[in-house]
Amino acid sequence: MFRSKGSSILELLSTSLARSGKGSNAKRAQRVEGALQPAFKQAQNSFVPSRHYQSPFLRPAPYQHFRGRKPWWQSQSTVRIMLVVGGAGGVYYVAHIETVPYTHRRHAVLVSPATERSLGAQTFKQFRDEAEAAGKLLPAQHPVSRAVREVGLRIAAVAQEDVDGQPIQHMKDLQWEFAVINEPGNVNAFVAPGGKVVFYTGLLQLLKTKNEIAAVMGHEAAHVVARHTGEKLSSTLIFAVLQVAAGLLLGIHLPADLAQLVIFLPNSRKQESEADAIGMQLAAKACFNPGAAALVFQKLGAAEQQQGVQIPTMLRTHPLSKDRVKAIEHNLPKAEQQYELAGCNAPKGFFGSGAW
Ligand SMILES: [Zn+2]
């Protein structure tokens, strides 16, 4: 014989009835009812409702006091979502890896050339309008503006093609623009995507020949060729996504300062060196003396020393001028080869005076 909770209730019931064998019906009923109370209580306590019909809303809430949050990797659905999102992100990243013309370095550019061009046009307009409003924009007919434009257009023409003469897709149909801003204390030049170049007179007063202007112009055009702005925007975007993911999934805060030191500054220096190397080839293809770049960076190095500010290499966006001169000397034979191939028709070692 086997026992169950049901049989124990019946046993209790029969025992109670046997005990109440004599007396009036009413009294007997009361005694039965009294005797049944413990049986009902036991039945109530032993009753476990079927899970199938138990409303989740009626289930007692478990105590929360010592319940920790379940880690995301223990939740199958969250892991699945993470894998899908991570996989899609990885596919998107790989699909946007491209090869830098001239150097053949591989890099990911997640923004489209159209987006880059639009950002470049806005930036250029802003700088030019502000300079104009401040009376600092050199007129287009000024000899310095004309020299910058002439050198710029010659380099822009050759920058449309790769080292082997193949057209570079994102360099097609660019609207190159040049502006010279009269700030004698500003030894600088920059390019915005889409071929928008700004020179400051502080730099131009150091450059005595068109070959020297071409060295800077080649460097600036090289940033456009190598899509360095798009690459920088992409790194910033990827870091922002990683920062959010690390915060949400691991509860870790990725500090932006550390990323600046470990990722962005080294990348920036790498891009500058790459722009130097490509720039020399562009200048040479446009029949400017590629060796002028060494002279320009020697002058920049001297200007830096005059300013007396020594920034440690780790914190620099640009490589040290003396390191750049060394790299330029290393890259010179390749650029001279471009000069020959372009049919610039000068005997080896002679590139003309290139005076303004
Ligand atoms: Zn640069």
* CA–CA distance, 158 with 142 (Å, rounded to integer): 25
Query: Do residues 237 and 284 touch, judged by C-beta distance below 8 A?
Result: no
The per-residue pLDDT for 52 is 41
3-class state of residue 9 by DSSP: helix
The per-residue pLDDT for 305 is 75
Expressed in angstroms and rounded, the spacing between residue 148 Cα and the centre of ligand 1 is 17
The per-residue pLDDT for 62 is 45
* CA–CA distance, 122 with 86 (Å, rounded to integer): 33
The per-residue pLDDT for 135 is 98
Expressed in angstroms and rounded, the spacing between residue 223 Cα and the centre of ligand 1 is 7
The per-residue pLDDT for 79 is 80
The per-residue pLDDT for 302 is 81
The per-residue pLDDT for 303 is 79
* CA–CA distance, 115 with 34 (Å, rounded to integer): 86
Expressed in angstroms and rounded, the spacing between residue 275 Cα and the centre of ligand 1 is 6
Expressed in angstroms and rounded, the spacing between residue 221 Cα and the centre of ligand 1 is 9
The per-residue pLDDT for 316 is 61
Query: Do residues 82 and 249 touch, judged by C-beta distance below 8 A?
Result: yes
The per-residue pLDDT for 161 is 95
Alpha helices in the chain, H assignment, sequence order: 5-19, 25-46, 76-95, 113-133, 143-158, 201-204, 210-225, 228-245, 256-259, 265-285, 292-307, 321-341
DSSP per position, 211-270: HHHHHHHHHHHHHHHTTHHHHHHHHHHHHHHHHHHIIIII-----HHHHIIIIIHHHHHH
3-class state of residue 22 by DSSP: coil
Expressed in angstroms and rounded, the spacing between residue 10 Cα and the centre of ligand 1 is 94
| Tens-binned pLDDT, residue by residue, of the chain (356 aa) | 444 444 343 333 344 434 444 445 555 556 545 554 554 454 444 444 334 434 444 444 444 444 556 777 777 787 888 888 888 888 888 989 999 999 999 999 999 999 999 999 999 999 999 999 999 999 999 999 999 999 999 999 999 999 889 999 999 999 999 999 999 988 899 999 999 999 999 999 999 999 999 999 999 999 999 999 999 999 999 999 888 888 888 888 888 888 888 888 889 989 999 999 999 999 999 999 999 999 998 888 887 777 665 555 555 667 777 788 899 999 999 999 999 989 886 555 555 545 45
Amino acid at 99: T
Is 161 tagged catalytic? no
Q: What's the whole-model pTM score?
A: 0.74
Expressed in angstroms and rounded, the spacing between residue 241 Cα and the centre of ligand 1 is 27
Q: Give the residue extent of every domain in the chain.
A: 99-341
Catalytic residue from among 116, 212, 220, 272: 220
Query: Do residues 102 and 280 touch, judged by C-beta distance below 8 A?
Result: no
Query: Do residues 119 and 137 touch, judged by C-beta distance below 8 A?
Result: no
* CA–CA distance, 283 with 335 (Å, rounded to integer): 8
The per-residue pLDDT for 315 is 56
Expressed in angstroms and rounded, the spacing between residue 60 Cα and the centre of ligand 1 is 66
